[in-house]
Structure 1
């Protein structure tokens, strides 16, 4: 567990205790040691390892500038400028010292709010920011950082048009980093000519944000911009195609234009009709890949990333689904990027709201290391923190853990028709299982009936495991199916069959409950409190847990990028990419694979209602087990199903969590953004 940072927690104003004054003296000495040469042989002893709250938050400089992006997305003949609100400590500039920057570029500062309490920016009569959402400025400005809140193009006080992860979104944020490093122009007003300079910063920038905000951090990092030293993307998108589609299957009944409409400023609403139409034209409901998706796929440009990356994601995030972090992580690893990861049992939730006491000090250490250069050892600590049960965490030195390798498990028929098993050996040629798409049912309905022959699924489960079996990473399920109609959608899910207590990720808080008490993280002012409502785990007792999912339009069997009509009665082979996860199926539970049609609430149904025949001999799942094929063999060795009853032991004794209904597209920020 990282050392807990001390500061102004549980206070709403500056601390004045003798202990605090002593800490100020110590911190001032440490700060001087960071910039003044130490005596020979004394450097190691003099170097600080933690920034301290030595600067006044109440007297911090609050200012606004407008950075020229070099774009004219709204076509008004003037270059678009993005609004940048800054909170920075006053004292370093007076002392001739420069500070690094923590930056959150967001479309939500005026339309929808940030965090669990949906905070908005507020301004004084001069137009300078009074309330900056979230705790970052309250906590980090006294510690010698500037905090910068950027209104993405087309939102709040910025010019331009919302581009939903595209060129304008990314370049409007990148331009701010360029300005911080002396490579771009900024002005003291939206339309004026008075220049603004950033002589107060050393240009070292870290980007952070949840959902759309963190998505922009991914996109900016993929430009390779100089000066961006680290990013902390939370529940963030790495490819916008994978936010809207899964191999041609629609995940939402909306599109990028609807998102743009939700966050646009009044000016953008009036002037950006052409830009919105481009979003409509470039995102056909067919799920075919277009240039629009290519422009918004940061994974393709992961080789440009120079910044370190601290990935945070909920493993049950059904808004920004976990394929987004999995493929991003793999691409970063392939390119040798320094990285760290936290995976929780929550849905679309910020770690500040499910593990606050640990999150703030770890984030503090991360920024201290990558922006201030402190040797605090954060990069040498375990790479991964994984939530196993509500508020119970484990760590791994690397992720996925050493010894993880994919093994193929095969669906085979069992003693009861329609109730199959999972085996290390393939099914005999000619064996099959048949199901009919029922768009009214979902993964919870299928899993609850894993031991029953039902017409809507093909289910396969091991006998109760004799050892724990850990899945870590992304799985792939390849199936050969014959449809009866010209269109078909497929779903595949991995299920842990057995009783457990997990976070209620489908609840209103997606795994958290919001309390009435507050804790404080930094210094407060009359207009900007550092105190936030406490949260606790929202728990659910379940009889099974769906822990990884994947979907596809069978018409995309020959290409990930373009679908075609099917020929009824013809066999097709397609691979479904299951979302990344890290889950332990404990001894006594069973591992199950379910293949079915429409997953109600998570994908849209196809135009027809096909019956599909699954060729078992030509189907299988490649699953990343810690310990590989040997781990699967050991966990299933000696496992004995209850053949007399025709049903394996461990039948679910209580339901799983129902899938949230997909009535309409959600903002990538979700509830509370």
Structure 2
């Protein structure tokens, strides 16, 4: 087992100042570099010409230092509209993306060429009031607007307080604002990132996603046109796309090196994943924070219609309606209506609609260095998004690092962590970040600990069995198969009105089954993706199935570590619904959300099974029955140290 290293203070400082830089590709124009130092080239002084001033970044301890002005009045601001190759609103003209550039005065006066920190968002112009789908109905049905379509489980989205809007302004604790787009260059659509990166020599670009603010085109909740729109900004920064100012004059980005790093939270972090999956030249690094890697896994789970936490009943059409803030409120109506139809809230099946929004399909094209950041308790964008994206990047040898914290949605790495990443991959300064430990995890006591990789390499899938309880009491979660006894069928009666936390806490309940380990004599760490394999039958043709992994403290109080869901009709494939025949047993294999969690000594580890999950699934009328064959059902947990570690702690 590899030992973690707790993060310590900085080492003794060492400083480096680069010479004046030039735009990438200058050699092709006959401007051969006279020297290269730390990946930043300097042009020779022509014979008889005055020497150009030496202006460039300063690096200390592998990080760009704030040696340029932090006075916003010293910076240059530009407003541009970048032409894309798509016409998603069908008006016969290519869509244009509205963007604002903030750069240093030295890019005009001293020949500085800056790399770019770039955030694109559909939230800068606020959001529209929307109503979520009703989830209180039978399975295999969907209520349409006008037939009980209402928001159960949340109020109308308020642009002033909505979590999604807040995510657009908190990426780097940068004192950002996200004022609604107005006429003319002010107010700025956002000032996030500027105070962090301008003084360190970077430029900052903020852009509004298609269909929002001053951009045209249509919002499609992760559709291909949104990816192309965001990618076009990088094309412009590298001379491959055209941009225009408010007067229609063409604007060139002559002030940049062409190296771009994308960063953002939630939707703003999802777009970097999308753009990186195109393999666009010039995108050198991304920092997706609480970001989606497949939109199916945001609104569905193993065939079940499952909500993002806190947004019960939301779907792609609702989110598109929320961010549809461009001035023309009619041109995209048919596009949003098509989203409502194609998303399929009836079966929950994976389809071509979702495949278009699955960035995992093109992860092989990613070459940008990826610093993934995610909250271990994020139930809005669940941890599966970070885990599957990160695992695929590892497998393909893409430069990668992951930051996992104890919070929920959002939560950026520190400025120092970001600085090392951008310094290495945007400035090209070889600070050795690629040799650092790959995982930075905030532990339960809030200390930051570095690990060689994530999941922990010493974690091994450990199969545990379910032994039934007696007289309605909880059963046993055990590594001893002999404790299961004779075959027993246990029953769950669905009641969607009862929340998962209530059922996990209950000493007995007909609405759930619970299985607990013994009191642990030592801590047990989980690192990775838990899975369950259940042998179940049903009293009706459709039912929800929910599994919880639970930490029970010394007083028996339950803390839900993670959870997962499945539609039994999708038992063979998430793309195909097959009817359930009542009374026929089926094998259900499904995953819970990945986690990294330490169950403390003196606690008990538990698995709780229920049907509908009030906060996440469709909520049918109570009464559906589910039957579990305990002797043919197992739980697979990623335990550090494997079966031996569990046996030692559960002895």
Q: What's the offset of the Cα at 1:67?
A: 0.9
Paired with 1:544 and 1:87, the residues of 2 have a C-alpha distance of 49
Paired with 2:436 and 2:249, the residues of 1 have a C-alpha distance of 47
Count of residue correspondences:
562
Q: What's the offset of the Cα at 1:415?
A: 4.9
Q: Does 1:380 align with 2:435?
A: yes
Report what 2:288 is aligned to: 233
Q: What's the offset of the Cα at 1:37?
A: 4.2
SS of the counterpart of 1:58?
helix
Q: What's the offset of the Cα at 1:254?
A: 2.8
Q: Does 1:156 align with 2:213?
A: yes
Q: Is the 8 A contact 1:499 1:543 kept in 2?
A: yes
Q: Does 1:461 align with 2:516?
A: yes
Q: Does 1:477 align with 2:520?
A: no
Change (3 A) 1:166 1:125: closer
Q: What's the offset of the Cα at 1:337?
A: 1.8
Q: What's the offset of the Cα at 1:2?
A: 6.8
Report what 1:600 is aligned to: 614
Q: What's the offset of the Cα at 1:390?
A: 5.2
User: What is the 5 A alignment of 1:249-264?
Assistant: 249-252=304-307, 253-264=313-324
Report what 1:521 is aligned to: none
Report what 1:328 is aligned to: 389
Report what 1:301 is aligned to: 362
SS of the counterpart of 2:329?
helix
Report what 1:586 is aligned to: 600
Structure with more contact order per residue of length (Cα contacts < 8 Å, sep ≥ 6)? 1
Paired with 1:492 and 1:486, the residues of 2 have a C-alpha distance of 20
Report what 1:132 is aligned to: 190
Q: Does 1:414 align with 2:469?
A: yes
Q: Is the 8 A contact 2:496 2:621 kept in 1?
A: no
SS of the counterpart of 2:102?
strand
Q: Identify the match of residue 557 of structure 2 among 528, 531, 543.
A: 543
Q: Is the 8 A contact 1:306 1:337 kept in 2?
A: yes
Q: What's the offset of the Cα at 1:266?
A: 4.0
Paired with 2:486 and 2:273, the residues of 1 have a C-alpha distance of 46
Q: What's the offset of the Cα at 1:198?
A: 1.0
SS of the counterpart of 1:267?
coil
Q: What's the offset of the Cα at 1:402?
A: 2.1
Q: Does 1:563 align with 2:615?
A: no
Q: Is the 8 A contact 1:206 1:371 kept in 2?
A: yes
SS of the counterpart of 2:504?
helix
Q: Identify the match of residue 19 of structure 2 among 29, 32, 46.
A: 32
User: What is the 5 A alignment of 1:188-587?
Assistant: 188-189=245-246, 193-252=248-307, 253-286=313-346, 287-351=348-412, 359-389=414-444, 391-426=446-481, 427-428=484-485, 430-449=487-506, 452-498=507-553, 543-587=557-601
| Structure 2: gaps (5+ residues) | 1-6, 23-33, 42-57, 127-158, 160-164, 308-312
- Which TM-score applies when normalising by structure 2? 0.81
Q: Does 1:104 align with 2:159?
A: no
Paired with 1:61 and 1:123, the residues of 2 have a C-alpha distance of 19
Paired with 1:254 and 1:97, the residues of 2 have a C-alpha distance of 46
SS of the counterpart of 1:471?
strand
Paired with 2:100 and 2:9, the residues of 1 have a C-alpha distance of 32
Paired with 1:248 and 1:279, the residues of 2 have a C-alpha distance of 18
Q: Report Cα offsets for 1:126-169 as digits up to 9, x if no partner.
A: 425646243x1112011110100010001001010001111111
- Which TM-score applies when normalising by structure 1? 0.79
Change (3 A) 1:122 1:318: closer
Change (3 A) 1:607 1:169: farther
Paired with 2:567 and 2:103, the residues of 1 have a C-alpha distance of 50
Report what 1:115 is aligned to: 169
Paired with 1:128 and 1:254, the residues of 2 have a C-alpha distance of 33
Report what 2:198 is aligned to: 141
Q: What's the offset of the Cα at 1:176?
A: 0.7
User: What is the 5 A alignment of 1:40-189?
Assistant: 49-56=62-69, 57-111=72-126, 112=159, 113=165, 114-115=168-169, 119-121=177-179, 126-127=184-185, 130=188, 132-134=190-192, 136-189=193-246
Q: Is the 8 A contact 2:169 2:190 kept in 1?
A: no
Q: What's the offset of the Cα at 1:271?
A: 0.6
Q: Report Cα offsets for 1:626-647 as digits up to 9, x if no partner.
A: 112222222212xxxxxxxxxx
Paired with 1:335 and 1:106, the residues of 2 have a C-alpha distance of 28
SS of the counterpart of 1:414?
coil
Q: Report Cα offsets for 1:341-381 as digits up to 9, x if no partner.
A: 12122121323xxxxxx712211221111111222333322
Q: Report Cα offsets for 1:417-460 as digits up to 9, x if no partner.
A: 442111224435622221111111222112212xx332011111
Q: What's the offset of the Cα at 1:97?
A: 2.9
Q: What's the offset of the Cα at 1:225?
A: 1.0
Change (3 A) 1:125 1:437: closer
Change (3 A) 1:138 1:395: same
Report what 1:512 is aligned to: none
Q: What's the offset of the Cα at 1:47?
A: 7.3
Change (3 A) 1:579 1:103: same
Name whichever of 387-396 and 293-302 sits farther off. Answer: 387-396
SS of the counterpart of 2:468?
strand
Paired with 1:555 and 1:177, the residues of 2 have a C-alpha distance of 43
Change (3 A) 1:348 1:463: same
Q: Is the 8 A contact 2:114 2:257 kept in 1?
A: yes
Change (3 A) 1:30 1:2: farther
Q: What's the offset of the Cα at 1:593?
A: 0.8
SS of the counterpart of 2:410?
coil
Cα-Cα RMSD: 2.7
Paired with 2:578 and 2:84, the residues of 1 have a C-alpha distance of 41
SS of the counterpart of 2:647?
helix
Q: Is the 8 A contact 1:433 1:614 kept in 2?
A: yes
Name whichever of 76-85 and 327-336 sits farther off. Answer: 327-336
Q: Is the 8 A contact 1:34 1:47 kept in 2?
A: no
Q: Does 1:635 align with 2:649?
A: yes
Q: What's the offset of the Cα at 1:612?
A: 0.9
Q: Is the 8 A contact 2:169 2:178 kept in 1?
A: no
Q: What's the offset of the Cα at 1:606?
A: 4.2
Paired with 1:250 and 1:123, the residues of 2 have a C-alpha distance of 34
SS of the counterpart of 1:195?
coil
